[in-house]
Structure 1
């Protein structure tokens, strides 16, 4: 049975978070002399001399309307990477605890674990890029605090079997983190709809992919109110800057435009797959629920270098287990995809 206090680090339980000026006074006033800001303004057109909302309420309110999740169940981070790091710092004791990763997967989970001195136990996906539930069960011990699952998975592009994820949620006493960075491109429904059912579930999403806001660095975590309170306790006081908050709000008003981009991306993905299949050096194209495809080739390094010489950059994933011989190709605009295919037709 999952109990948050059983996995929360003792120092975090006893932590008194930093109380910023904007935490101590919330509301509107005519004169602010509490935060040691520059009272004369900033040398920019916008008034960036004031500290931003530390809990980003307006952005969360808009996200709540879009996602159908209460504000109290939303955490915003400086990209999803900050949320990942905060999960390690909140629930994993350095040099003692461990987490389970299921490679091939997003590399930042392991990097963040190493930074925090947390042991990683790796249970490779099956040949079909699905969870090895028996292998995961064998690796879980009393010090296993987190399991990271990327779905749709990066770099393979496929969605993870939903029943398998629910099996972990029902049987693991730690936290299951489902990273849904590419969920907007997927046929599978999001796990945020299951938050009320699973108190040990954390869902990560981002504005960097479908929403086209990678430069703003705004990541989201959805979880129980208890877990969100812990993450807010641990995060830096002003982790999302004012310009990112304002631009995110502006972007979140354009849901229809983003939905049209998603439809176009999916159509271009299908067209790209058909074009690549005609190339004799392409051995396989794995099914994708993301805005990229994993392509197995006869000569990944040669193809990669050839494309670089032509000013086209893809990602060589051929050295990753289960991805041998493969290149990861992001779906571009129609013009970019056409340039890619025309160029590849000249590869010898």
Structure 2
């Protein structure tokens, strides 16, 4: 199947002349900057933030490229993955005309962003074992379907999606297939970033908010063909990643050995938490997880949720989400946090 990026783009985006910032126009070295109407005297902070940041974050991308094994030219950095999701809608989906497919239960921002952009959402629920319903997706497609969103490992279920099923979509769907890998660091499954050369319609999302522990900095990653990345850069605000975030991320990326240790410890704690939860008679099912959380089906989930809140322990009630009836989503914490959680769960059920 041939993939035609230009045919997918909205007309206004295809013809868009992007804003050209002062830093975009200037190439090379300089010592006097009188081009962007900045405050030449500095900023009232220990570090000077009076100059606009690199609009394309070259230093951060260069360092990320070595870690991720993806060329910088195939990389977009956004204000969280949510910015990349929003740009996908603005690039490819004409409001009130086009549609996208999501596969519940899944990450909620795909639908929220669709609603913000006035784009129809078609829902094809995952199968009972939380895998893609390929026949259902095929039935939902039409000539106005532009994007299919897949979260793997999936949120809120934690399991990885069968990669062969994702490849089937990539090979047979003429639109964009988005594989959201926010939790890939906790999974044994190979990242789809390695498949970018094979599939021109593939967009892979990742984040530094989870395993890297940088949620407060709001840095999301999108990997795709050079042509799709050029579309992202055409649409994004001129300086979408601030200098403070860029500086801190550059520092953090030097400490990947610490992150690797945290990943190992999280996986160990995840398995210990699952073992302890499975020993409770009130726990009906725990979905095998490749993420830093577990989806647990248990008795009286709302009552347990409220009891935990009263003890200052916050989990996520997913009991009203499709296919997650009776479930809480529990993030894997530190050993002490997990022990406190388990003690409160046991106390709740004993008191009933």
Q: TM-score, normalised by structure 1?
A: 0.99
In structure 1, the residue matched to 2:65 is 64
In structure 2, the residue matched to 1:204 is 205
Which runs of 4 or more aligned residues in structure 1 lie more than 4 Å from their structure 2 counterparts after TM superposition?
A: none
Query: What SS does the corresponding residue of 1:129 show, helix, strand or coil?
Result: coil
C-alpha distance after superposition, 1:57-93 (max 9, x if no partner): 0000001111111110000000000000000000110
In structure 2, the residue matched to 1:258 is 259
In structure 1, the residue matched to 2:332 is 331
In structure 2, the residue matched to 1:183 is 184
Query: What SS does the corresponding residue of 2:347 show, helix, strand or coil?
Result: coil
Aligned-residue offset at 1:26: 2.8
In structure 2, the residue matched to 1:295 is 296
Alignment of 1:93-172 (within 5 A): 93-172=94-173
Q: Distance in 2 between matches of 1:224 and 1:180?
A: 17
Aligned-residue offset at 1:28: 2.3
Query: What SS does the corresponding residue of 2:254 show, helix, strand or coil?
Result: coil
> Unaligned 5+ residue runs, structure 2?
none
> Unaligned 5+ residue runs, structure 1?
none
Count of equivalent residues: 348
In structure 2, the residue matched to 1:12 is 13
Query: What SS does the corresponding residue of 1:252 show, helix, strand or coil?
Result: helix
In structure 2, the residue matched to 1:214 is 215
Q: Distance in 1 between matches of 2:57 and 2:148?
A: 28
C-alpha distance after superposition, 1:25-66 (max 9, x if no partner): 133211100000001111111110000000000000001111
In structure 1, the residue matched to 2:55 is 54
C-alpha distance after superposition, 1:99-146 (max 9, x if no partner): 000000000000000000000000000000000000000111100000
Q: Distance in 2 between matches of 1:224 and 1:30?
A: 35
Q: Distance in 2 between matches of 1:159 and 1:26?
A: 43
Q: TM-score, normalised by structure 2?
A: 0.98
Alignment of 1:247-286 (within 5 A): 247-286=248-287
Q: Distance in 2 between matches of 1:12 and 1:345?
A: 55
Aligned-residue offset at 1:327: 0.2
In structure 2, the residue matched to 1:32 is 33
C-alpha distance after superposition, 1:147-191 (max 9, x if no partner): 000000000000000000000000000000000000000010100
In structure 2, the residue matched to 1:43 is 44
Q: Distance in 2 between matches of 1:27 and 1:85?
A: 32
